[in-house]
Amino acid sequence: MSEKKTCYSSEELEVFKKIIIHKIASAREELKIYEDILSRELDADSDGTPYSAHIADVGSDAMEKEKANLIVSRQTKFISHLEAALKRIEKGVYGISKDCKDEPKMLCDTCPLIQKERLMIVPHTQTCVQMKKLRKD
């Protein structure tokens, strides 16, 4: 009988690292777009005119600014989670469920490891699907 795997190989970690680096680059591109939008809106707000041409424009502008701020905040948080995942790769603990590292719950076949498929889709996750479902219930 083979021994249960408790960490991913360096080859597997390299694949995850490439995925994470690609996601960070994409997230930074999107972040820059929305930061530029906010910057342009700030410049437009300081054009010296005290009021917009129409009251509906004011509401629309405020809604667009709020949306851009939300996306900037969300992307910044996402990038930070991805960077933390890169640090876990460097430390050799990437892909190990934070809930099962000390005491495996055996909720999935790969315990204490998070399934590869999940890590490919959500590379910054620290829990397996089964544990995530348990927390939602």
Write the pLDDT tens digit of every residue in 5-19.
Answer: 889 999 999 999 999
Q: Report the number of distinct structural domains present in the chain.
A: 2
CA distance 132 to 8: 21
- Whether residues 99 and 61 fall in one domain: no
Q: What is the CA radius of gyration of the chain?
A: 21
**Quick one: 104 and 132 in the same domain?**
yes
**69 plus 128 within the same structural domain:** no
Both 52 and 103 in a single domain?
A: no
Residues 68, 92 contacting (CB under 8 angstroms): no
Does the structure show a pLDDT above 60 at 56? no
Range of the domain at 101: 95-137
User: Letter for the amino acid at 68?
Assistant: A
CA distance 61 to 71: 15
Q: Are residues 16 and 66 in the same domain?
A: yes
1 within domain boundaries: no
pLDDT digits (tens, 9 = 90+) for 84-126: 999 999 999 999 999 998 888 888 899 999 999 999 999 999 9
Same domain for 24 and 86, yes or no, is yes
DSSP letter at 124 equals T
Partners of residue 113 on adjacent β-strands: 96
